[in-house]
Amino acid sequence: MCCCFTQQSKCMNVSHIQYRTFDVHVKLRSIVKCIWSCDATPNNGDHFIFRTYASLYPTIIFCKQGWVTPVDDRTRGAVLLLGQANTWCRFRTSQDFKLLGVTLNPSALPRLFHIAAHEVTNRIYDDKRVFLNDALATFCREVIGHSFNPKHIINLLTEKNQEDVNYDDPILPFIMSCFQCDMRSPVTDLPRQVFMSQRNFERKFKYYTGFTPKAFTNLARLIGTINSLSVKTKKLSDTALEHHYFDQSHFSNEFKRHTGFQPSVFAKSVDDQRAVWEHFLKFFHTLSICPPMLCKS
């Protein structure tokens, strides 16, 4: 896969792959991270490899043309649901493909489709599993029936958001605090603040996010280090200290466990492709995709 990049307004091209993101209304940003498309044209019979890292964001992928499947799995279908994950994965595509994706924020699956987040953590559901859920099946059929129109998807999600009866659940602000790493008290103090037992708090937290509060917070911190390595040139020891790891060794072990790479390898790839990476930083982070050079391995 050739790493030749150009930039065209909101569209991005990686060799023969074109990415595009679509604006989401501010009222939807609590549940939708991004709506995006990814299209590829034939390239001498080549296929494409995307390598992802741990993500707090579940994603629904619609295959308008061609297919995408995990390298070590046979899951394939017209619709894929990628649950939030604390590990990395490699995806292989057909030679040419057209994908449309809806990347959701943490807690969106339970709120919109009444799917417990922990049921899809580290899992990939094909259309057979997706269509077992009535609410999600109705949404997917509407998307497909309206020719994958992003504006129609936004309207559908707006309607679903208005129906969200759990919007005022007192635990949701604490989930956002954990995600933004701006908590003013330790995770262990959170249950008392919403008048819940430790067990009930962790049960509800896992229902909404797929992870325990501690695991969720650790992942949010790890993702913060990825952002730091992507935009700043600094020593790994400084990055580890900035994000409150015990030491550089602890940071390196956690980074590799969730991404498959040593942080030094990741940082070097970003630095080697600095001009490219700066243009596409937001989009690659949206999909939790490693730098293009690393995606090939």
Q: What is the mean pLDDT of the chain?
A: 82
User: Does the pLDDT of residue 60 top 90, yes or no?
Assistant: yes
**Average of per-residue pLDDT across 171-186:** 64
**Average of per-residue pLDDT across 20-37:** 87
User: Does the pLDDT of residue 5 top 90, yes or no?
Assistant: no
Instruction: Specify burial of residue 30 (Cβ count, 10 A radius: 0-12, 13-18, 19+).
Output: middle
38, β-bridge pairs: 19, 99
Confidence of residue 12 (pLDDT cuts 50, 70, 90): very low
User: Does the pLDDT of residue 183 top 60, yes or no?
Assistant: no
**Average of per-residue pLDDT across 239-243:** 87
> What's the CA gap between 61 and 126, in Å, rounded?
10
Whether the CB-CB separation of 118 and 55 falls below 8 Å is answered with no
Share of the chain above pLDDT 70, in %: 82
- The predicted pLDDT at position 44 comes to 64
DSSP symbol at 261 = S
> What's the CA gap between 133 and 280, in Å, rounded?
34
- The predicted pLDDT at position 32 comes to 92
- The predicted pLDDT at position 62 comes to 96
Between 149 and 43, whose confidence is greater? 149
For the chain, domains (ranges, CATH) are 5-162 (2.60.120.10), 172-295 (1.10.10.60)
Nearest to 164 by CA among 109, 104, 205: 109
Give whichever of 46-50, 78-82, 183-187 has the largest mean pLDDT.
Answer: 78-82
Whether the CB-CB separation of 50 and 59 falls below 8 Å is answered with no
